[in-house]
Amino acid sequence: MPSHSLDVLSSLSPAVPVTLAELAEAAERAEAGPASGRPVTPRPAASVVLCRDGDAGLETFLLHRHARMAFAASMVVFPGGGLDPVDRSDEDPRRACAVRETLEETGVSLPAADLVPWAHWITPILQPIRYDTYFYLAPLPPGEVAGDLSTETERAAWTAPASAVSAYRNGVLAMMPPTLSILLELAELSSVAEAIALGAGRLIETVLPEVVRRGDGWMFRYPPSRTSAGG
């Protein structure tokens, strides 16, 4: 049975970052919630989960973004970014964007055919900068070396997914739900071959987290996963 991109959602924390909770509070006070406000149109984007087999098992290349960035400041992310005009001339603009961004940010040249569709996330409606992002998994091609070429990051490194998840839970690393969800799945795998096999025929559905009130605070509400729904 093929894997489903929603299966991991039940493992995600419903906690909302402080900055997003503040936006939700402001929207509530202004009586301009998602239904009545004018949300920013998300920019089409693509991101690549670059993987390799390290000495201790599966590793992925993570970028640590500068604190000064307007979007995902101080977060750990995968290489990627928004579509440029040059991407739109390609027959598959998202894949073209994924290949271009990976080359620009890491120096790795990826064959578009090697990209394995993995997930599709849209930034919550309340946020002032939004992306509609397709995530692809790709093995590091033979002979390629990943480096930190991005001007948006303070460092980049190959990291075991389980180590990254542990660092997040201990408050050492910060990451957004899409990044965490992907790492949670990869943490259960031991090799690139296993990851590619899990991605084969994978069912991809869009995840648009909702920010909803819970008591005196706010929480993320995700679409029900196939696992939690019994599917």
Give the start-to-end residue ranges of the domains of the chain.
37-208
Residue type present at position 144? E
Q: Is 139 helix (H, G, I), strand (E, B) or coil?
A: strand
Confidence of residue 31 (pLDDT cuts 50, 70, 90): low
Q: How far is CA 230 from the centre of its chain?
A: 25
Spatial distance between the Cα atoms of 21 and 212, rounded to a whole number of angstroms: 9
Q: Residue 1: what pLDDT? A: 65
Report the pLDDT value the prediction gives residue 43, as an integer from 0 to 100.
Answer: 95
What is the per-residue pLDDT for 216?
Answer: 85
Give me the CATH code for the 37-208 domain, please: 3.90.79.10
Token output for 215: 């008591």
Enter the DSSP assignment of 203.
B
Mean pLDDT of 23-39: 70
Q: Which residue has the higher pLDDT, 96 or 29?
A: 96
Using alpha carbons, select from 50, 54, 52 the residue that is nearest to residue 63: 50
Say whether pLDDT at 33 is over 60: no
Confidence band for 220, pLDDT divided at 50, 70 and 90:
very high
Please say if the pLDDT value at position 94 is more than 50: yes
CA 173 from centre of chain: 15
Angle between helices 161-169 and 177-186 (to 10 degrees): 130
The helices-and-strands tally (H runs, E runs) of the chain is 6, 10
Q: Flag the least confident range among 57-61, 84-88, 128-132.
A: 128-132
